[in-house]
Amino acid sequence: MNEYLTVAKNILLNNIFLKKQESIAIITDDSLQSIGEIFYETSVPLAEEALLLKMKTREKSGEEPPKQVAEAMFMSDVAICITEHSLTHTKARKRASENGTRVITMPGISLDMFNKGAITADYSDVETLTNEYCDILQSGEHVTIEKDGHALSLSIKGRTAIASTGVFRQAGDSGNLPSGESFIAPLETEANGKIVVDGAISGIGVLTEPTTLTIENGRLVAATGDAGRELLNILGDGLGRTIAEFGIGTNKSARLTGNVLEDEKVYGTIHIAFGSNKSFGGQTDAGVHIDCVVKHPRVTIDSHLLF
């Protein structure tokens, strides 16, 4: 247990920069209560006020927390969300960030991830690479992703790139931890083509066989194989099938494990997501957000070959 307390303390002081005069809310659920308690125990002597809130486990990523939890996030200087499903793309997270709360989300974090993989990265390196890719995204207009004879085109014109660096210094900073991704909300109706997803899908895990996704005018219209059928079922028939995100992994210590919190950070991968993106500059509020990780694609942003 002591090693986990040490890692939690390191995160609170060196990634989140928790100050003695600040308040912190630890948000957890039935499935990850034990990890939530580690952070709570560690934060008590480091903050002016520490609060531990446990809620019923949500059914999917992007589902809103209870209003009591949302209010605690809003009122705190720091909120750490240690939950099975992600609260990143929720109104509660967005509202808290806009009020100045530093919001750190750790969906599906495991004890294994405490001392292996992405959490062990040099976050100064992660921060540098993430910002470099964000600069390319910010100045770009058109993205082409190619793999195994298929191509998907996206428009990112006029959208704002987001750096998820794993470093939370300023009021209103938010993102995952462990982290390392540069991402943006593509225009919702201007994605067309096919993409081969061969890494992992949030809620499904590491794929044993690739699934090919067909996207027309920003909407997922077909997906092959068992994983594809499961993905369509998770997203539903409505706004959940709308293209939501294009992201680039920037953490060279991250592993492909089946936990999307780490999977989407793997260097050399990209991910696209479907569902909600209103919390980071898009227009869709779907109550679901599902990421699909692609290993080693060819990516071009305008005339710039990324990799």
pLDDT tens digits, one per residue of 13-37 = 999 999 999 999 999 999 999 999 9
Q: Is the pLDDT of residue 89 over 90?
A: no
Looking at the fold, whether 172 and 186 belong to one and the same domain comes out as: yes
Looking at the fold, whether 50 and 34 belong to one and the same domain comes out as: yes
Residue 8's pLDDT band, with cuts at 50, 70 and 90, is: very high
Q: Please identify, among 115, 149, 180, the residue that sits at the C-terminal boundary of a domain.
A: 115
Looking at the fold, whether 90 and 202 belong to one and the same domain comes out as: no
Q: Is the pLDDT of residue 1 over 90?
A: no
* pTM exceeds 0.95 for this model: no
Looking at the fold, whether 200 and 52 belong to one and the same domain comes out as: no
Looking at the fold, whether 67 and 105 belong to one and the same domain comes out as: yes
Please tell me the total count of domains within the chain. Answer: 2
Domain of residue 29 covers: 2-115
Q: Please identify, among 94, 115, 136, the residue that sits at the C-terminal boundary of a domain.
A: 115
Q: Please identify, among 115, 139, 159, the residue that sits at the C-terminal boundary of a domain.
A: 115
Looking at the fold, whether 141 and 224 belong to one and the same domain comes out as: yes
Looking at the fold, whether 128 and 10 belong to one and the same domain comes out as: no
Convert the pLDDT of each residue in 197-209 to its tens digit. Answer: 999 999 999 999 9
Looking at the fold, whether 264 and 135 belong to one and the same domain comes out as: yes
Looking at the fold, whether 226 and 251 belong to one and the same domain comes out as: yes
pLDDT at residue number 2: 85
Long-range contacts of 68-76 (CB under 8 A, 24+ apart): 69/27, 70/95, 70/96, 72/25, 72/27, 73/25, 73/27, 73/101, 73/103, 74/99, 74/101, 75/23, 75/25, 76/23, 76/24, 76/25, 76/51, 76/101
The CATH number assigned to the domain holding 36 equals 3.40.1830.10
Lowest average pLDDT, out of 64-78, 89-103, 107-121, 150-164, goes to 107-121
Looking at the fold, whether 140 and 165 belong to one and the same domain comes out as: yes
Lowest average pLDDT, out of 37-51, 102-116, 216-230, goes to 102-116
